[in-house]
Amino acid sequence: MKYKLLTILSFIFLLQTTKGQTETIYFNSLDSVLVYSEKNSSTMKTNEQQTLLAKWEKIAAQTGLINFKMISSFNMTNNYKQTFTFLPAEAFGGEPGTFRKVETGTPYVENVSIAPQIDLINISSWTKLKSANINSEMTSVNNLLVKKNLFESIAASYYNIISLQAQVKYTEQSLAVADTLLQNMQHKYNEGIIRKQDLNDAQINKVSLSDKLNQLKLSLEQQLYSLKILCDIPTETEIIINEQTEKNQEYVEGLKSNNDLQYKYSLLKVQQAEADISTNQFMQLPIVSLVFYDSWQHNSGSQFFDSNEPWINSQYISLRLSLPFPDVNRYTLTQKSKINKTILEENAKHTKIQNDLQNKQMALDYEKAYSQLNTNKEIYKLKEENYQMSLNQFNMSILPPDKLLTDFNDMITSKLNYTSSLANLLYTKSTIKINNTIK
């Protein structure tokens, strides 16, 4: 018994210690979430690596302008079988008209050479640099697009959480009211004022509201999970959002987006296609290079590295003209690049229209959200007034219970709609701000 008690106490202590180690993150605004995401999100970290990769590709293209090469070699050759040459025997005191077999060549040869080379004229290298510059710009614009889309998704999740938190709080309050209504109807039923069916309806109303509360809590938990995924927040970390939203929202005249990142990206793709065309065409042009050759050779008839024999140096400087052989594949690639450019130009025109309409759509979404908020706010006030009058009439036994429950549920629905529309308005404002900031 003593050991069992110690085990239980140790387990409780472990749970408390683990609970105490759980990290909690507090967010009091959307901006605070976006700041956290920018520092910790794997998406943003990947963007940084993409930028770094594009930078090094640009550096590689810049160094490729001169295309410096250092070709060096070292050879050790053992000519253990020499070649033979037939020379006139008369030169060696022999009979005229005859020939003598003479072995020629050096048995042991060492050779060291270096040949640095620099391109003086290589037009294709400049087109590669242009392509690398365009690719660097495309990477920057694409990173901004990824960041914008990420921030918009975070804003959607964040304001869903704001809305659901408010709905959970109000539903909990409404559930307490539903319990009070059930008790009042139970009292009236005991007095024989209302029917059993009316009491059952009150019980059904409370059960339904309790289930709605559970569903809202589950939806809230799902949205918190979504926010963790978007911001790369550890699973065990607790999130607490305590922003106090302003219910009296003023209409901002002329609020609109002027983001054109998608159109910029489509234009850069056209430029990239133009660079591909130039690269494929100029790859067929000759290359002029400056070459310096420096060589040391050592010959010996007895052994390698014979100290009795000197090293012989030779050098030269030359201009080298490299003319590539006509390549059918290059011609094919050029034609494909031209077709691709035409397609991308058409896509750019479409993207321009799409981009402009999306900006206009965000402004319309804001106007629609503001109008819906005011409508739902007014409906909620009227539904709340109807419920209060119905409650008074029910207490005076001049209103049937089903009418009271109907007005009660209508009030709850209108309040939840009002809460949702408030969060939606804040979301539409935030997306316009994000689009006007990241561009």
Tens-place pLDDT, residues 232-257: 999 999 999 998 888 888 888 889 99
In a domain, 164, yes or no: yes
* Euclidean distance between the first and the last CA atom of the chain, given in angstroms as a whole number: 69
Do the Cβ atoms of 387 and 399 come closer than 8 Å?
Answer: no
- pLDDT at site 2: 44
- Domain residue limits at 29: 23-67+122-285+327-437
* Distance from the Cα of residue 144 to its chain's centroid: 9
> Residue 101: its pLDDT value, please?
67
Q: Are residues 311 and 390 in the same domain?
A: no
State the average pLDDT over residues 277-298. Answer: 81
For residues 63 and 256, the answer to whether their CB atoms sit within 8 Å is: no
175 and 278 share one domain: yes
- In tens, the pLDDT along 123-163 reads 777 787 888 888 889 999 999 999 999 999 999 999 999 99
Whether 81 and 106 have beta carbons less than 8 Å apart is answered as no
Residues 301 and 365 in one domain: no
For residue 304, what pLDDT band results from cuts at 50, 70 and 90?
Answer: confident
Helices (H) and strands (E) in the chain, counts: 8, 8
8-state DSSP, 29: S
Integer Cα distance of 350 and 353 in angstroms: 5
Model confidence at 65, pLDDT cuts 50, 70, 90, reads low
Q: How many structural domains is the chain composed of?
A: 2
With vertex at residue 235, the alpha carbon angle to CA 230 and CA 239, rounded to the nearest 5 degrees, is: 75
Give the confidence band of 4 by pLDDT, cuts at 50, 70, 90. very low
Q: How confident is the model at residue 5 (pLDDT cuts 50, 70, 90)?
A: very low
DSSP label at 73? E
In a domain, 18, yes or no: no
Least confident of 74-83, 126-135, 212-221, 384-393: 74-83
Residues of the chain above pLDDT 70, percent: 90
Question: Is 9 part of any domain?
Answer: no
Same-domain status, 243 and 390: yes
Distance CA 50, CA 35 (A): 20
